Amino acid sequence: MDSKKSLLLIVSGGIAAYKIPELIRLLTKQGISVTCIITKAARQFVTPLTLASLSGNQVYTELFDLKDESEIGHIQLSRQANLVLVAPATASIIAKMAHGIADDLATTCLLATDKPVLVAPAMNVKMWEHPATQRNINQLIQDGVTFYGPEDGAMACGETGTGRMAEIETLTNAIRQQLEQATPPALPLAGKHVLVTAGPTHEKIDPVRYIANRSSGKQGYALAQQAASMGATVTLVSGPVNLAAPYGVQTVRVTSASQMLEAVKAALPAEIAICAAAVADWRVAAPSAEKMKKTGKQDVPTLVLTQNPDILHTLSNLEQERPELVIGFAAETQDIIANAKAKLARKGCDIMIANDVSEQSGTFGGNDNAVHFITKDRISSWDRMSKQEVSNKILQEIRSKK
C-alpha cells in the first residue's frame, strides 16, 4: 500500500451507497488505497464483499470484532489513512459526528481520527433542510470538517431538491486534491535507525548495594523522543531511571554497563548512535553473592574495582556495523572544552556534546542543559536551554550532516 495516498472511506446507510463501488473503482485506478468501514444500515444497500473486491482491502464492520481489534484496532484504523471520507453521509451520522457520539465502529473512528475529514451528505431534502441538520453541519464546519454537496436534483425518494450526494467525479477530484495537501512532508530522519543510551548504570556490590551516579536519563530520553518525532526508528537502551518509556520508541531497560553494551550490540545496525548514558567507569570485580556483613567495629571492606567496557569507544571502533555517526557526551566538571576535545579523539567518535555537570550547574537531574557541540573542526557553544531544545538542536545538526 502506498501510505502516502490512502483513504479511509466510511459508508453510512443511504441509498446513494450504491454509487460507492464506482467511487472505489475510480480511486484505486488512480493509485489511491481505499479501506472501507460500512455501517449496519449501509449493508442494506451495498455488501462488504463488493467493497472488499473493488478496494482489494479488508472491509471493517464491527467495533468489537475480536479478530479485527487484535489485528488492527479501531484507533490505528482511524489514523493510518491520510484522509477520511464519509460517503454517503446520512443525517444520522452527521448528527452523531456533531455531538461526538461514538456508538459503532464508524463513529468511533470519526471521533478518534487525527486526519482531515470530508463528508458527502445524501438525504431527503426535508431532512437536509431541517434546522437540526443545519445546526449539526455548522458545528462540523467549525470543527474543521469539509463538506462536498449535497447537490440539487431528483432523489430516490421521488422528491426533488437539495439532497443528492455529490457526483462521483466531484468526489474523486476533491479526494485527489486533499490527499496532495494532506500528504505530510517526508520526516527528516525517516528510514534511519537511531540508537540512544541513557541514564546511569548500577554496578553491583552485593545483592542490596550498588555503585551509581546522579544521571536522571532526561537528556537521553529527550533525544530518543525527538529522534522518533523526526521519523527515526529509535532504540533506547536505558539504565535504571524514573522515566516512562518515550512514545513510539523501542526501550530496552538494563542495569549494568556490561548489560548496556550487550543491549547496544544487539540493537545494531544503526545509522546513528548517541551515547548519552553516564556509564560507570568501574564495577566491583567480584560482587558478593550474599549481603556483606559488618563483623566488627574496625572492619571496613575493600572493594576491588575493575574497568567497565567503554560502549562509546567500542561503537566508534567497530570494524563491522560501525554507525555512520557516533555521538558521545562529555560530562565534565572542569576544563570542559579541552577535556571534551581530548575525549573526542580518544574515543574515536564523530561528535562530542560537552556539558558542565558540576554540582552548581544543576545539569544532572535538572531540566536544562548548556552544551558545546564539538567536532574535529569546530566548536559551537549553545545557550542554556531545555533538554528537549538541546535534543532538537543536536538532531537538526546531525540531519544537516547526513
Cell of 382: 549553545
Provide the total of helices (H) and of strands (E) in the chain, helices listed first.
14, 22
Catalytic residue among 36, 109, 157, 275: 157
Quote the CA–CA distance of 223 and 395 in Å, as a whole number.
Answer: 8
**Residue closer to ligand C5P (CB basis): 228 or 312:** 312
- Does position 197 bind ligand C5P by CB under 6 A? yes
Query: Do residues 353 and 329 make contact, with C-beta atoms less than 8 angstroms apart?
Result: yes
Among 27, 189, 222, 275, interactor with ligand C5P by CB under 6 A: 275
Give whichever of 19 and 343 is closer to ligand C5P, judged by the CB atom. 343
Instruction: Identify which of residues 230 and 275 has a Cβ nearer to ligand C5P in the complex.
Output: 275
If the CB atoms of residues 91 and 311 are measured against ligand C5P, the closer one turns out to be: 311
Q: Is residue 364 involved in binding ligand C5P (CB under 6 A)?
A: no
279 binds ligand C5P (CB under 6 A): yes
Give the DSSP H or E segment for 218: helix 218-229
Give, as ranges, the residues between 288 and 327 that touch ligand C5P (CB under 6 A): 308, 310-312
Q: Catalytic residue at 157?
A: yes
Report the DSSP beta bridge partners of residue 253: 238
Under the binding rule (CB under 6 A), the answer on residue 329 touching ligand C5P is yes
Min separation Cβ 402 and ligand C5P, Å: 20
Site for ligand C5P in 332-361 (CB under 6 A): 343
Helix/strand/coil (H, E, C) string of 163-202? EECCCHHHHHHHHHHHHHHHCCCCCCCCCCEEEEEECECC
Give dist(CA 270, CA 60) in Å, integer: 37
- Residue 270 binding ligand C5P, by CB under 6 A: no
Helix axes 20-29, 48-55, angle to 10 degrees: 10
330 lies in the binding site for ligand C5P (CB under 6 A): yes
Question: In terms of CB distance, is 132 or 342 closer to ligand C5P?
Answer: 342
Binding segment for ligand C5P (CB under 6 A), chosen from 84-92, 105-113, 237-245, 275-283, is: 275-283
The answer to whether residues 249 and 209 touch, using CB atoms and an 8 Å cutoff, is no
Cβ-defined contacts of 170-173 (< 8 Å, 24+): 171/23, 171/85, 171/87, 171/120, 172/23, 172/26, 172/27, 172/30
Catalytic residues, by residue number, are 157
Sites of contact with ligand C5P (CB under 6 A):
197, 257, 275, 277, 279, 281, 308, 310-312, 328-330, 343
